[in-house]
Structure 1
């Protein structure tokens, strides 16, 4: 989802079933045990954004990648240890960043409410603040998650890939209880951030047997991408912004998509079936409609349950 994206690998089958959405979460879960929680998390995000405008995109993507593997259990925050390579070191996650924001927020929260607030809840709140502080909507985050103890890099093959077609995307989302409308709404998170050449190289070089460039892509847009990302690109950090306003949460992503100026095959895939194409047009025409759908879908994502068992004292290691 998200920003600073590298090419991902999608497999149709999951290694284990995804749990059903959490039902015990509550927006007022910490009202008595840690009433200053949200203020502390918001401050940590604001402070980081002052020095790095890419933080919101990083946090939003981090939360999405966490919830899509073992549910929202902060397993993406765990560090590799010994022979176990953790999720954050899996190929789709090597470009994730802004972990320090969660670390700083956790430190501040622990100082106030030791052993009370999970890292998973802090990450969910930080993702919400990332959107709101970028000019997007805000919402009441359901809280009460527990932190997981398992994190495996191999599991990251389950993340939706930039090269996915609509059938692969639909299957990937439906396995997590998410609809086609959720797919289109959450894809709007691509309004924030930057993508490396590797994640859209397939559309601008050797697209198929008869086209060097994806024919659905605007020719001048494709040419500009090819100038930044030549065939044998050697600049590791080369790439393009996901939309013209990469630090503002708006509906420009959908407008660009309709103009043939999206980056990923998975973006273009939204225009290949009538149902999702209609939603793209709706969100392109109305920022309000997009924001309403995005909030609803983000809450659904954040309620995908994990096998969390504890409140980690350090988000990077199990207790």
Structure 2
């Protein structure tokens, strides 16, 4: 069951200049949010994996140059989207489809950056996660450079490095846990599992944090010298539903990604995970806290006012 939470943030993160606001397009393009929702619904009905894809796209956009649509630009080999840390990121055609619809009804009004944020919100709700409102008014950035994506969080990062990368974006250790929990939907490739399954310790061997039972399953899916493109759910047993099941898996040694497993090693991030299970009735709400974190993330380094532009096509600068 989805929960509805509306959070209006009066502070800004990173290098943002100005304020986003709820209903930014209510007068200039009142159908903006419903148009994006319709396009996202069609995309997910055609391909259920698209919910996770669009959520991931939002994260990857915001962590480089802020939430400004920079990941959408296709300007040759130097495009940000070609960075190693963006491997497997998809969903660009869904954003372009929504943009094309909006250009037909409200030309040069709705930014691609806002479409990315709205599409992620709708994807979460359509995966049975919390429905929530996001402030809009982002403008599209004017830079797309592969070199700027060098500090993207990686699945092999230590917990300290992950915490530092999030802190550099104005995000807390709690935000790290909650935004990592977005892995509750979606899949990853065996390519990202090889080290953890076979070469994690000196001399070879798996990550000891993996439950022996789960290790057998993972190695069966991703055998030595197997197809590295085979995909597996990041939240074993609940990959199509947005919920806190992935946190239970992390606690039980059933984390798929190395970065998720490390959340259970650090006392601070582990305490955040534990808090969602110690007192189900009176404890914190995972859904409400996730909304808090993703709306906060969506304000990293936004361009507003006279900064940036409103692209006509999301894949190219005007």
- Say yes or no: TM over 0.5: yes
Counterpart check, 1:139 vs 2:135: no
Counterpart check, 1:271 vs 2:264: yes
Q: Partner of 2:292 in structure 1?
A: 296
List runs of 5+ in structure 2 lacking aligned partners: 1-12
- Partners of 1:220 and 1:23 in 2: how far apart? 51
Q: Partner of 2:225 in structure 1?
A: 232
Cα distance, 1:92 vs structure 2: 2.3
Verify the 8 A CA contact 1:57 1:193 in the aligned structure 2.
yes
Aligned residue pairs total 299
Cα distance, 1:231 vs structure 2: 2.2
Q: Partner of 2:251 in structure 1?
A: 258
TM-score, length-scaled by structure 1: 0.89
Counterpart check, 1:158 vs 2:151: yes
- Partners of 1:134 and 1:161 in 2: how far apart? 25
Superposed counterparts of 1:44-193, under 5 Å: 44-81=39-76, 84-193=77-186
Verify the 8 A CA contact 1:120 1:145 in the aligned structure 2.
yes
Q: Partner of 1:216 in structure 2?
A: 209
Verify the 8 A CA contact 1:90 1:154 in the aligned structure 2.
yes
Verify the 8 A CA contact 2:222 2:228 in the aligned structure 1.
no
CA distances 1:246-283 after superposition (whole Å, capped 9, x unpaired): 12101110011111000122111111222211111223
Verify the 8 A CA contact 2:127 2:240 in the aligned structure 1.
yes
Deviates more, 1:236-245 or 1:44-53: 236-245
- Over 3 Å counting, the alpha-carbon distance change for 1:279 and 1:258 in structure 2 is same
- Partners of 1:22 and 1:49 in 2: how far apart? 34
List runs of 5+ in structure 1 lacking aligned partners: 1-17
Cα distance, 1:209 vs structure 2: 2.2
- Partners of 2:183 and 2:197 in 1: how far apart? 19
Verify the 8 A CA contact 2:193 2:222 in the aligned structure 1.
no
DSSP 3-state at the match of 2:99? helix
- Partners of 2:135 and 2:118 in 1: how far apart? 9
Cα distance, 1:78 vs structure 2: 0.4
